[in-house]
């Protein structure tokens, strides 16, 4: 199908393009930006007047819940949620059931996702077998199967020797290791350590759980030269350590979730289980530090940390409720909210969910590396067309994800996706009668 998107504001953070122009698509690729040839005959024309045409969003942390957790999310529902949120590429952690530690499991997941013709899925392979922290997986075989990196997900590595060997191996072959900095012994609480957790009688996760893990990771990176991506930072102290490590030239990148970017421990209120997320919500000074670090580039990318949870697992006392929140459909709006509050221009805001995540993934994207997260002639047409002025209220029951729990229920936000294109095909289009 040939598509023509007319009169849209084309914003491409990677190139600095920000102009009102037409965009022509054929055979899944962008064939013209601006002046479209008179002999281009579109099968369909999309009027983007008043809308922004941006690269499809790239989310570095989204659990699809398959295999093993289908009661919390099916691949069909979560991929539908992704494109409804303008997300055209996403990275999924390996903590499925069974764990993504065998090539066959990775190939099955990619095959299922590819057949849905929705977003591109990039799995992370398990760093150790069954995430047990004892025996390294066959990283080379998992990479051939389609893994873009290796992770322990939320399972901390207690044995530093195993982590050291993993980083040595990864460095040898140029793989990236994705680690959430959380000390395995100190990080087992349910809320951020502080006055509020103490008053509520909740077990606390101290800031040092993050900083001790970061210090260990940085020393091992210095020794091995391995590339490490730090997942979902949560503290001001952690941000300062990352800033110093980057200044020292260590090959590290990092991200923060929309929950930690916008919320604090005070939002837990009266034991609201919707606020039970990982890492836990910290104090306002931590949130402010995360927001500033994302703006100045210390933090590379913003992620949804999409983790759908079923009703039974959330309707429990706060300390017993399963951590997680539905977020794929909120990534764009929460990015725009942050960017507006920081006084950033639209291209700078969108960069944190498009070109910057692609830079984190690098060569692991393979043939898509040259065009993912950007709008370029000849590139794959992964696009998000949205109305930056359209305001809408987050209604959990209306979300397409199978999980309906989000800390942002009832929030009024701006930025509504009108159309999502994946490889030149319309993967989502907002119903005109929708509120």
- For 362-393, the DSSP string reads GGGGGGGTTTTTS--TTSB--EEEEEEEEEEE
CB atoms near residue 322 (< 10 Å): 16
- Which two three-digit tokens encode residue 187? 């990080």
Q: Using only C-alpha atoms, what is the Rg of the chain?
A: 21
Q: Is the distance from CB of 148 to CB of 105 less than 8 angstroms?
A: no
Its pTM stands at 0.96
β 17-26/120-123 pair status: unpaired
Report the side by side order of strands in the sheet with 120-123.
Answer: 57-59, 87-92, 120-123
Query: b/e map of 81-112 (b: 16 or more CB within 10 Å)?
Result: bbbbbbbbbbbbbbbbeebbbbbebbeebbeb
Residue 70: what pLDDT? 84
Residue 423: what pLDDT? 94
Give me the percent of the chain exceeding a pLDDT of 90: 92
Q: Which helix (H) or strand (E) holds 12?
A: strand 3-12
Residue 333: is its pLDDT beyond 90? Answer: yes
Which is it for the CA torsion 332, 238, 359, 163, positive or negative? negative
Least confident stretch, 102-106, 189-193, 323-327, 364-368: 364-368
Catalytic residues: 305
Residue 106: what pLDDT? 96
**DSSP 3-state of 421:** strand
Residue 103: what pLDDT? 97
Q: Is the distance from CB of 91 to CB of 146 less than 8 angstroms?
A: no
Confidence of residue 366 (pLDDT cuts 50, 70, 90): confident
Averaged pLDDT for residues 224-249: 98
What's the pLDDT tens digit per position in 264-319?
999 999 999 999 999 999 999 999 999 999 999 999 999 999 999 999 999 999 99
Report the side by side order of strands in the sheet with 301-303.
Answer: 125-126, 150-151, 176-179, 227-230, 252-257, 301-303
Closest CA to 147 of 95, 96, 100, 97: 100
Confidence of residue 435 (pLDDT cuts 50, 70, 90): very low
Distance CA(277)–CA(274), nearest Å, equals 8
Which is it for the CA torsion 215, 353, 76, 434, positive or negative? positive
């Amino acid at each position: 199908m040939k598509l023509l998107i007319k009169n849209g504001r084309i914003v491409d953070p990677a190139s600095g393009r920000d102009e009102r122009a037409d965009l022509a698509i054929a055979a899944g690729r962008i064939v013209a930006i601006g002046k479209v040839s008179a002999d281009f005959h579109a099968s369909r024309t999309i009027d983007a007047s008043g809308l922004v045409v941006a690269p499809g969003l790239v989310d570095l942390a989204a659990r699809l819940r398959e295999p093993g957790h289908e009661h919390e999310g099916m691949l069909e529902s979560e991929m539908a949620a992704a494109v409804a949120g303008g997300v055209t590429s996403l990275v999924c952690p390996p903590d499925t059931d069974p764990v993504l530690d065998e090539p066959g499991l990775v190939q099955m997941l990619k095959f299922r996702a590819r057949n849905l013709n929705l977003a591109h899925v990039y799995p992370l392979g398990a760093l150790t077998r069954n995430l047990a922290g004892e025996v390294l997986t066959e990283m080379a075989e998992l990479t051939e199967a389609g893994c873009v990196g290796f992770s322990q997900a939320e399972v901390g590595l207690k044995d530093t020797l195993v982590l050291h060997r993993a980083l040595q191996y990864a460095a040898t072959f140029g793989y990236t290791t994705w680690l959430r900095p959380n000390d395995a012994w100190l990080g087992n609480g349910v809320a951020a350590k502080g006055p509020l957790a103490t008053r509520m009688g909740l077990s606390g996760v101290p800031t040092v759980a993050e900083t001790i893990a970061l210090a260990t990771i940085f020393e091992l990176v210095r020794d091995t030269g391995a590339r490490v991506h730090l997942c979902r930072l949560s503290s001001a102290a952690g941000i300062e350590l990352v800033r110093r490590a980057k200044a020292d030239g260590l090959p590290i990148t990092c991200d923060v979730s929309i929950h930690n970017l916008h919320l604090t421990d005070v939002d837990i209120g009266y034991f609201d289980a919707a606020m039970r997320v990982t890492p836990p919500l910290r104090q306002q000074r931590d949130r402010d530090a995360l927001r500033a670090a994302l703006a100045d580039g210390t933090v590379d990318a913003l992620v949804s940390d999409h983790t759908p949870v079923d009703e039974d697992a959330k309707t429990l006392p706060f300390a017993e409720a399963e951590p997680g929140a539905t977020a794929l459909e909120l990534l764009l709006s929460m990015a725009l909210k942050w960017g507006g509050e920081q006084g950033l221009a639209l291209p700078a805001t969108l960069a944190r969910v498009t070109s910057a995540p692609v830079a984190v993934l690098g060569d692991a994207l393979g043939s898509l590396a040259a065009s993912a997260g950007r709008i370029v002639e000849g590139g794959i047409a992964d696009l998000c067309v949205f109305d930056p002025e359209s305001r809408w209220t987050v209604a959990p029951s209306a979300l397409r994800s199978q999980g309906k729990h989000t800390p942002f229920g009832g929030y009024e936000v701006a930025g509504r996706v009108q159309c999502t294109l994946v490889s030149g095909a319309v993967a989502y289009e907002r119903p005109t009668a929708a509120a």
